[in-house]
Amino acid sequence: MVGIAELTSNDTLRLPAEVAGHFRQADRFVVWREGDTLYLKRITPRSVTAVVEQAPQDEPLSLDDINDMVHEVRRRRRVG
């Protein structure tokens, strides 16, 4: 897929519809430049499973801990 992106006057990068259609408006990207090449990589938030897997295995999670984890994952998804 090849298209032309445009940098607008307010520093917004307008992507071709064929490219933008693969993402959500809330998606976030890490951006870097090498010479005259610009790279975009979508940042994918960790899932609830990944967060729970990092919890201590030797002791059960409290309901407050679980609640905090779920809220953190939801917050990351909203922010991107």
Q: Cα dihedral angle (22, 25, 28, 34), rounded to 10 degrees?
A: 60
55-66 pLDDT, tens per residue? 777 878 788 888
Angstrom distance (rounded) from CA 17 to CA 4:
10
pLDDT digits (tens, 9 = 90+) for 29-48: 999 999 999 999 988 766 66
pTM: 0.52
